[in-house]
């Protein structure tokens, strides 16, 4: 597990934030954040005072990255691109989370490296990460100003014959009485636009390219569901509420999921990233065998 307990040995009076800065080689701001997120304790008691003076050993919950051998697909001095397999989370949700892509990013490039955008756990494909804080700020700003173009592949249900421009606002579902973690099409939501282009039809399925022009949570999934072409393998959009709840409660077996959704994973793949950085322009394509996975389902 990436979060480990580390004991900092100390036998002199020193302010807590200074002890953390010296031990981990971090900035004052980073040390204060560690204290604010309740990662520091002494003799079983949390230390919450940033300016507290400590004279004994303290215990720190520390993120210690561990690699599983996934290296970057492409890198420069400022950023790197990973080709994430389906099933790997991008960020740890909590201290009990196991291996995530952040492990690889920080294993390769250090504690100052970070991921610049989101990708769902089951979505495979390209993830852009920054090697240092300045690059992170720049890349996140580029995503916000729509200077980075993303292209996805998806295997969807139904025969989609023509290109679609889906312009439907998306809002978080506020009714948690039955189901959570789901967004909905709502006229009061935030603007969301997706271009969907059919690439090849396979009977009851269509392979499509999806280009999100905005970056809302679950945007491609909910937009394709809205136009009655849900993504194969989607256990939330395109299935009954009872099936979605069973999936979220981890009560849906692999065979049941395949029976209800057509696949044991979400058939959505981040295929390409295109952007300018400095004096260069980049267009990077995933090398994962997503089409081969689609063919197994189609056949």
DSSP helix/strand/coil, 124 = strand
**Per-residue confidence band for 96, with pLDDT thresholds at 50, 70 and 90:** low
Q: How far apart are CA 202 and CA 192, in angstroms?
A: 28
* Architecture of the domain spanning 3-63: Roll (3.10)
Task: Average the pLDDT over 64-73 and give the result.
Answer: 92
Quick one: fold of 68-145? Answer: Pseudouridine synthase (3.30.2350)
Q: Return the structure tokens found at 137.
A: 């700020």
Task: Average the pLDDT over 238-264 and give the result.
Answer: 92
For the chain, the structural domain boundaries read: 3-63, 68-145, 149-299
Number of residues that make up the chain: 299
Whether the pLDDT of residue 178 is over 80: the answer is: no
Among 120, 159, 242, 264, which one carries the catalytic annotation?
120
Which residues fall within 8 angstroms of residue 190, CB to CB, at 6 or more apart? 169, 170, 171, 214, 216
Q: How far apart are CA 144 and CA 232, in angstroms?
A: 29
Answer whether 68-145 and 149-299 agree in fold. yes
- pLDDT digits over 205-244, tens only? 999 999 999 999 999 999 999 999 999 999 999 898 889 8
User: Where is average pLDDT lowest: 13-27, 175-189, 219-233, 238-252?
Assistant: 175-189
By the 8 A CB rule, do 109 and 131 touch? Answer: yes
Active site (annotated) includes residue 120: yes
Q: How far apart are CA 102 and CA 70, in angstroms?
A: 11
**Per-residue confidence band for 107, with pLDDT thresholds at 50, 70 and 90:** very high
Whether the pLDDT of residue 183 is over 80: the answer is: yes
Task: Average the pLDDT over 106-117 and give the result.
Answer: 92
- pLDDT digits over 115-138, tens only? 999 999 999 999 999 999 999 999
Q: Is 149-299 in CATH node 3.30.2350.10?
A: yes
Chain mean pLDDT for the chain: 90
Q: How far apart are CA 256 and CA 259, in angstroms?
A: 5
Task: Give the CA radius of gyration of the chain.
Answer: 22
């Amino acid at each position: 597990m990436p979060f480990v307990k580390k004991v900092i040995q100390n036998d002199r009076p020193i302010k807590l934030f200074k002890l953390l800065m010296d031990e981990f080689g971090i900035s004052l701001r980073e040390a204060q954040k560690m204290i604010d997120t309740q990662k520091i304790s002494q003799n079983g008691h949390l230390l919450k005072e940033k300016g507290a003076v400590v004279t004994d050993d303290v215990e720190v919950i520390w993120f210690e990255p561990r690699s599983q051998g996934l290296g970057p697909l492409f890198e420069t001095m400022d950023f790197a691109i990973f080709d994430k397999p389906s099933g790997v989370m991008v960020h740890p949700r909590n201290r009990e989370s196991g291996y995530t892509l952040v492990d690889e990013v920080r294993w390769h490039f250090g504690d100052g490296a970070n991921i610049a955008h989101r990708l769902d756990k089951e979505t495979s494909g390209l993830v852009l990460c920054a090697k240092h804080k300045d690059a992170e700020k720049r890349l996140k700003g580029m995503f916000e100003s729509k200077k980075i173009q993303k292209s996805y592949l998806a295997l969807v249900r139904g025969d989609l014959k023509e290109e679609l421009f889906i312009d439907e606002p998306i809002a978080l579902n506020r009714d948690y009485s039955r189901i959570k973690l789901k967004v909905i099409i709502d006229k009061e939501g935030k603007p969301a636009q997706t271009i969907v282009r059919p690439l090849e039809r396979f009977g009851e399925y269509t392979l499509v390219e999806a280009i999100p022009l905005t970056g809302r949570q679950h945007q491609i999934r909910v937009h394709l569901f809205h136009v009655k072409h849900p993504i194969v393998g989607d256990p939330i959009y395109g299935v009954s509420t009872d099936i979605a709840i069973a999936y979220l409660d981890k009560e849906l077996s692999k065979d049941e999921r395949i029976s209800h959704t057509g696949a044991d994973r979400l058939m959505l793949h981040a295929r390409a990233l295109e952007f300018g950085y400095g004096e260069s322009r980049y267009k990077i394509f995933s090398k994962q065998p997503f089409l081969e996975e689609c063919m197994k389902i189609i056949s």
